């Protein structure tokens, strides 16, 4: 979706401001918001792509004026409601008012290390032969889906070259919406800075992005 999360190429946000000796978290509530999000992600009721979609679905004004973990809190709250795990009245009260819904898995303290070090890879058996190969020129499609996508706006309609082929991976555009993993071939595509931003750019500079086959068309 063309939401506020799709920031590549926007202007007006000012300088990047690194913080010397930055702590991992800046407040206790950030620690808890982070951990609640990761722990509830283990419930099996939604996936990472659905989580990203919940965050990017925030109203753009709210997204851009919220801090990072405030956006996570909004995303988690939305997912919990959609999954029927909590009611708005419970969120307001901070206590249980209706019986808990069945949940596939509760992340136990003893399982944290194993779950984190195992992760959840997205590589899958391909469903068909790859349409593109390294060295081939492709164009990112001019597409504007209303649902989740990982094709940024600044690449749409632009020509690039496939530099590597990574096998098939879970397709976020389907996976975020409960449509299964729908594995699609994944490619790294190199775009010249001049193709993206115009002729006044350095002729050598490039931007690489990892793009699924349905985002690409042959040239």
Partner 1 sequence: MSHDHDHSDGPAISETVLRVKALESLLVEKGYVDAQALDRLIDTYENKVGPRNGAAVVARAWADPEFRRWLLADATAAIGSFGFSGRQGEHMMALENTPQTHNMVVCTLCSCYPWPVLGLPPVWYKSAAYRSRAVLEPRQVLAEFGVVLPEDTEVRVWDSTAELRYLVVPMRPPGTEDWSEDRLAPLVTRDSMIGTGLALAPEAVP
Residues 32-91 that bind partner 1 (CB under 8 A): 32-36, 38-40, 43, 52, 55-56, 62-71, 73, 76-77, 80, 85-86, 90-91
Q: Applying CB under 8 A, does 181 fall inside the site for partner 1?
A: no
**Structural tokens at position 83:** 């999954």
Instruction: Spell out the SS3 assignment of 62-76.
Output: HHHHCCHHHHHHHHH
Q: Of 46, 132, 185, 212, which one interacts with partner 1 (CB under 8 A)?
A: 212
Q: Of 44, 146, 202, 218, which one interacts with partner 1 (CB under 8 A)?
A: 202
How many residues interact with partner 1 (rule CB under 8 A)?
98
Q: Applying CB under 8 A, does 143 fall inside the site for partner 1?
A: no
The minimum distance between CB 218 and partner 1, in angstroms, equals 20
Neighbouring residues of 8: CB distance < 8 A, sequence distance ≥ 6: 152, 153, 154, 155
Q: Of 44, 88, 100, 178, which one interacts with partner 1 (CB under 8 A)?
A: 100
Q: Of 124, 165, 182, 197, which one interacts with partner 1 (CB under 8 A)?
A: 197
**3-class DSSP assignment, residue 116:** helix
| Tokens 């690449």, located at residue | 155
Interface residues for partner 1 in 111-140 (CB under 8 A)? Answer: 111-113, 115-123
Q: Applying CB under 8 A, does 166 fall inside the site for partner 1?
A: yes
**Structural tokens at position 45:** 């009721």
Neighbouring residues of 186: CB distance < 8 A, sequence distance ≥ 6: 165, 166, 167, 168, 169, 210, 211, 212, 213
């Amino acid at each position: 979706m063309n939401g506020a999360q799709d920031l590549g190429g926007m202007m007006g946000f000012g300088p990047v401001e690194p913080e010397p000796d930055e702590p991992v978290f800046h407040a206790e509530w950030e620690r808890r918001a982070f951990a609640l999000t990761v722990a509830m992600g283990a419930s099996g009721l939604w996936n990472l792509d659905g989580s990203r979609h919940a965050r990017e679905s925030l109203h753009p004004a709210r997204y851009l004026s919220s801090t990072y973990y405030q956006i996570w809190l909004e995303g988690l709250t939305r997912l919990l409601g959609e999954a029927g795990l909590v009611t708005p009245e419970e969120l307001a009260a901070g206590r249980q008012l209706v019986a808990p819904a069945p949940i596939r898995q509760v992340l136990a303290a003893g399982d944290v290390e194993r779950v984190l070090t195992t992760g959840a890879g997205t590589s899958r058996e391909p469903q068909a032969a790859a349409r593109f190969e390294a060295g081939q020129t492709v164009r990112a499609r001019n597409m504007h889906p209303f649902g989740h996508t990982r094709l940024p706006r600044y690449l749409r309609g632009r020509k690039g070259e496939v530099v590597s082929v990574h096998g098939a991976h879970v397709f976020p555009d389907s996976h975020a919406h409960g449509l299964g993993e729908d594995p699609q071939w994944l490619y790294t595509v190199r775009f010249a800075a001049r193709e993206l931003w115009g002729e006044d750019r350095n002729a050598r500079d490039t931007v690489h992005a990892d793009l699924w086959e349905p985002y690409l068309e042959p040239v």
